[in-house]
Every structure is written in structure tokens, then in C-alpha cells.
Amino acid sequence: MILNVWMVTAFFLAGVGSVLALAMAVAGARTIAAAMARDVERASDRGHLLVLVVATLGLVRALAWPHFYGVLESYVPTLAPQGVMCAYGVTRVQPELVLALQWAKPVVLALLGAWLVLVAVDRRSDVPTFQRPLLIASVPLALLALGECALEAVWLASDQMDHEVSCCTQLADLVGGSVSRNVSPLALAGFDAPWKTLAAYFALGVLVAVEALALARAPARPPEPDAKRRELFQRIADAYAALYREGFAPISGSMVKQWIRRGDPTFTESDHGFRNFAEVVAAARGAGLFDVRRAAAGAVPPIESLVPARARPLPAALRRVAVALLALAFLAVAQWAWLDAVAPRVLALPYHHCLYEVVTRAPMMGVAALATIAGGAALALAAALSFARGATPDASATIAETARRLERAAGLALAASLLIVVVHVV
């Protein structure tokens, strides 16, 4: 075990994270129990506590992620006698454990962030859509976070002084001339010069950022209805939400009409320019409020039910999936481009292809790396939300707006990361 300030701080963050993960598991289990007992007040109170614990846990693990790379850099002088020359060499001491940590940290942080985003969607909607799956996911997510904290504690406490390792560049390699300036699959694909690698990296990055910002633009809306029709659509949406809260399912157009007439016995479709309520439902569907679900074969009675429209029409959702896949491809290209061309330029060492040294010696490059990963994760979540169907029309609109905000944030984050890299390599 190597003892220094960085290691002690990392142990502290892992310990705090473990306590918070256990608290999250307990709070999640107790909230589920209260919800199953239909104790609404207690479930609400425990739900608020659960959100607070998850947010705090996410903050602690967000601090622990970049701090982990500071720990790697701090171990270099101590492990230098064993052949370590940079942070990459430290990762070769226990490569399987370090690799698991490097994957676990962003995965846990992304899942915690997605959980909190969906909670925010529910809180901004008139009826929560994701409440049940979020509660169910809280316990396994807490256990996953606990496992990540425990894994880091095991690595910090392990014996790292009895391993001979090789770093990314050795003196014998330099003397023999065996080190290639291109050590990634990009070279095999024809990008065998730094300028080609950087051109591919920036072209793909700009494309993803521009597409993300284009997706974030508000979609074309159908013609705005007149005031009386807007009022009618709002009454329909409110009636549907009330029926949903009362536990009715499926909800048909006639049920919505009956609910409206309970509050206003004088209600008639003709006052709004319709001959019957079927025309009202068709108009609401055209305005993007509802879809119509056909009755199952053999159902008695064979009544069509109303369901809120999806957050995005299918073609638009598929476009978002394509952009999210493009963003994930950009993450892979960015990794190899940084390895091939960015690291040697930033470090001013033509044979030093070390990502760890880039993010530890140039902190703003670490910010660029975080922005790139966060942008890709945000686009993936936005694509998933595009297929979601809210519990009510208001919830579907909230989901669509959240997806647009994620796409806007992703586009700005990717653009900022590209700008940071430009500043460092030019």
C-alpha cells in the first residue's frame, strides 16, 4: 500500500461513497415498502430523502472520478524503481483491477445522473411516469455504486510495490526505433499521419455537435388552435390525468367525456365545432396529444383506448438514435486520436502516447475529456427518452422538452471540448 495525501483522500471518498450507497439502498427499499403499503405520505417523504441521498452520492462519485487519475499520477515517483515513468505505468501494476475501476466509475456516474434526470422529469409532470421503475432500480443501482467504492478501496489497500512493469515508452524501444507514432486502429484505417488523425477527429466531433444542436431545436408545431379549441384540449388532458390518477385503465374517449361532464353537465362537442366526441378525439390526436390504441382481438367490448402520444414521432426518434450511435463512435475515435496525435503534441514528447499524462498535466484537457464523455451519455439518454410515452399528454411534453435540453447541453459540451483541444494542439 502506498500512503500519501492523494491515497488518503481517495480512501475517504470511497468510504463516504460506501456509506451513501448503503443509505441509498435502505432508503430505496423503505420507499418501495411504503409504496406497496399505499402509504402515500410516507412514500413521498422517503422518496424525497432518497433523491437527496442519490444526488449527494452522485456528487461524491463525480469528485472521485478525476481524483482517481490524480492518485495514479501521485504513485509515479514511488513506483519509478519498478519501471514506472508515467501514470500509464501505474495502471500496469494491477491492470485488471484498474481497468475495472476505469469502466465502473463512469458507468455508475452515468446511471446516477440518468436516475436523477428521470426524477426531474417526473417532478415537472402532472403525473409521474417513471416513478415505479426508478424505485425498483434504486436498490440495484445502490449496490452497484457500493461495489465500485469497495473495488477502489481494495485497489488502494493492495500491495503495489512488488510488481515489475513496463511503461508506454521504454528507453530500449526508443534506441531500437520500434515505437510507432501511430499505435491505434486509426492508423490501420489509413489515418497514418497526425494531421489525418486530427482531421478525422475534428470533422466527426463537429458533425456530432452540430447534429445535437439541430435536434435540440423545437419541432415544427401543428397550426395553433383557436382559444376555444385550446381550452377543450386542456380539459381533455386534465380529465385523462384525473382518470389515470384514479387508477382507470385503459381509458377510452367516452370515459374522458363522462369525466368532463361530471364537472360540467352542460358540456357538448357542438359548442367547440364538432359533431361528436370521436371528432374531438381525432382533433386531439392531430394536435399530438394522444394516440389511439386498438382493442385486442376478441376483447369485449372492443373499445379503442387513448394513450398519450410518444415524446417523439418514430422517424424523429430513429434520427436521435442515429446521432447517439454517431456520438458513441466519436468517443472511440476521440480516444485513439488523443492517443495518436493529441497526447504527443500536448506533452511535447513525440513518442509519449499517454492519455493519463494528458489529463493530469493539462487539467483543461481533463475537462475536455469529461465534456466529451458527458455529451455522449446525454445524447444516449435523449435518444432513449424519445421512445418514451408519458403517463399523460403533459408528461409526454415534459419528456420531449427534457430530451431537447439534454441534446442542447450535449452539443455545447462537445463544442467546448473541441475548442479546448484546438487551443492545446495548435
Mean pLDDT, residues 333-355: 81
CATH of the domain at 281: 3.30.420
Give residue 313's pLDDT. Answer: 64
The residue type at 3: L
Q: Residue 269: inside a domain, yes or no?
A: yes
Co-location of 188 and 271 in the same domain: no
Say which DSSP state 389 is in: B
Is the Cα torsion angle 294, 297, 303, 306 positive or negative in sign?
negative
**End-of-domain residue from the set 259, 280, 308:** 308
Co-location of 39 and 152 in the same domain: yes
pLDDT band at residue 162, thresholds of 50, 70 and 90? low
Co-location of 344 and 387 in the same domain: yes
Q: Residue 124: inside a domain, yes or no?
A: yes
The single residue listed with the C-alpha cell 500500500 is: 1
Q: Residue 177: inside a domain, yes or no?
A: no
- Per-residue HEC secondary structure of 22-59 comes to HHHHHHHHHHHHHHHCCCHHHHHHHHHHHHHHHHHHHH
* Residues in CB range of 399: below 8 A, 6 or more apart: 121, 125, 129, 311, 385, 388, 390
* Residues in CB range of 133: below 8 A, 6 or more apart: none
User: Which H or E run contains 292?
Assistant: strand 290-293
Q: Residue 395: inside a domain, yes or no?
A: yes
Co-location of 29 and 137 in the same domain: yes
Set of cell numbers at residue 425: 494542439
Co-location of 359 and 210 in the same domain: yes
What are φ and ψ of residue 158, in 5° steps? -75, 160
The single residue listed with the C-alpha cell 473495488 is: 151
pLDDT band at residue 300, thresholds of 50, 70 and 90? very low
**End-of-domain residue from the set 257, 281, 308:** 308
The tally of domains found in the chain comes to: 3
**End-of-domain residue from the set 263, 288, 308:** 308
Set of cell numbers at residue 396: 409526454
- DSSP 3-state assignment of 406? helix
Selection from 87, 83, 84 nearest residue 73 by Cα: 87
What percent of the chain is predicted at pLDDT more than 90? 39
Do 64 and 152 touch, CB atoms closer than 8 A?
Answer: yes
- Report the length, in residues, of the chain: 426
| pLDDT tens by residue, 233-273 | 888 888 888 888 787 777 888 888 888 888 888 888 877 77
Q: Rg of the Cα trace of the chain?
A: 27
Sheet containing 290-293: give its strands across: 251-252, 305-308, 290-293
Co-location of 200 and 316 in the same domain: yes
Q: Residue 259: inside a domain, yes or no?
A: yes
Selection from 117, 184, 161 nearest residue 382 by Cα: 117
CA distances 53 to 1, 137, 274, Å, are 31, 14, 51
Q: Residue 25: inside a domain, yes or no?
A: yes
Say how far apart CA 21 and CA 54 lie, in whole Å.
8
Co-location of 144 and 53 in the same domain: yes
For residue 340, the cross-strand partners are: none
Co-location of 212 and 240 in the same domain: no
pLDDT at position 301 over 50: no
Mean pLDDT, residues 387-396: 81
Task: List the domain range (segments joined by +) for residue 131.
Answer: 1-167
Co-location of 341 and 419 in the same domain: yes
Q: Residue 176: inside a domain, yes or no?
A: no
Mean pLDDT, residues 391-409: 88
Mean of pLDDT over the chain? 83
Co-location of 92 and 190 in the same domain: no
Helices then strands, counting H and E runs in the chain, come out as 17, 3
User: Which H or E run contains 90?
Assistant: helix 87-91
Co-location of 207 and 232 in the same domain: no
Q: Residue 173: inside a domain, yes or no?
A: no
Co-location of 42 and 112 in the same domain: yes
